[in-house]
Amino acid sequence: MTASQKRNLVTGGAGFVGSHLVDRLMEAGEDVICLDNYFTGRKANIARWIGHPTFELVRHDVTEPISLEVDRIWHLACPASPVHYQHNPIKTAKTSFLGTYNMLGLARRVGARLLMASTSEVYGDPEVHPQPESYRGSVNTHGIRACYDEGKRVAETLCFDYQRMHGTEIRIARIFNTYGPRMLADDGRVVSNFIVQALRGEPLTLYGEGSQTRSFCFVDDLVEGLIRLMNGEHSGPINIGNPGEFTIRQLAELVRERIDPSLDFTLLPLPQDDPLQRQPVITLAQQELGWEPTIPLRAGLERTIADFRCRLAA
């Protein structure tokens, strides 16, 4: 490793977002340790790097401490889709709290900078729209989504307490809805749900009337934002997401027209605490990071659909 290379630890590195980040770091000539317990990560996502001299793969659960020598910690480990984080809500809360606690302890011991992947879910079902970083949120502390929402909120708290008490260098990214290649087919997220249903010739499921809104950021744009945040001087939190707002029905229609315009919709009741609106204010990211998304939803969907076609046909 040269003096300019960084030793990077990516927790959740075999997951959807983590594997794309690993790709960017490896392509930049960095030294990467990918840490994952494979709950939602897949070894296939990082298979191209196995055996590379600057890549190491470690099977480990972040709720248990680990000792490593690294310069930067990209802490992405946590199930991020409702299907997966509600599967074992106690484990999800432990991952957010203990996982972040352990990674902050590691960062403090070795003097590493830590970027924590927080979420737009800290805003809950927002009463302020769109959501700036200054908004403190409207979260149901005992609902079925609280294990994730409150878990990430306390993870942010831990980060800032470590910064205040120990001088630990932290970066907090509040990630909004992200999509792209390598999403799991069964993750319950709306983009993957619609694409998989359409490719299988099934009706597309809308909850309520599909009038709730989301803002969809392509994974390449997200990774660029994370890299700029890690390399920048602002601790955050900073919203990283695409401010383009679409209703869920609009998304369903875009997917349907690209795969099979004859498909019908199935209407089901809204899940508990499902946010009705989600749209980031990205002024801070534009000012502090010089970042904004560049890939429009239609272009990103084309690449995501092509990836799902390939994997479902295998």
Tally: H helices and E strands in the chain: 10, 13
Distance CA 186, CA 192 (A): 8
Q: What are phi and psi of 93, to 5 degrees?
A: -65, -40
Beta bridge partners, 265, equal 204
| Sign, CA torsion 229/230/233/238 | positive
The alpha carbon of 20 is separated from its chain's Cα centroid by a whole number of angstroms, namely: 11
Q: Assess whether 85 carries a catalytic annotation.
A: no
Write out the two tokens for 139: 């979260």
State the catalytic residue, choosing from 85, 148, 162, 179: 148
Using the CB atoms, write b or e for 188-223: b if 16+ within 10 Å: ebbbbbbbbbbbeeeebbbbeebebbbbbbbbbbbb
Catalytic amino acids? 148
